[in-house]
Amino acid sequence: MVREEELEEALGVRFLDAGLLRLALVHSSYINENPGVFPESNERLEFLGDAVLGMVVAEELYAANPDWPEGKLTQARAALVQEATLAEAARDIGLGEMLRMGRGEEAGGGRERASNLSAGLEAVIGAVFLDQGYKVAREVVLRVLGEWLSSLGEPEMSANPKSALQEAVQAEGLPSPTYRIVHEEGADHDRLFVAEVTVGGEVAGRGEGKRKSLAEQAAAVEALRGFAQSS
Tell me whether residue 50 is one of the annotated catalytic residues: yes
Q: Are 141 and 57 in contact (CB under 8 A)?
A: yes
Least Cα distance to 45 among 70, 28, 67 occurs for 28
Q: Could you say which of 50, 88, 147, 216 is catalytic?
A: 50
DSSP per residue over 142-211, as a string? HHHHHHHHHHTTSGGGSS-HHHHHHHHHHHTTPPPPEEEEEEEES-GGG-EEEEEEEETTEEEEEEEESS
CA–CA separation, 111 and 81 (whole Å): 20
Tell me whether residue 9 is one of the annotated catalytic residues: no
Q: Could you say which of 60, 92, 105, 122 is catalytic?
A: 122
Residues carrying an active site annotation:
50, 122
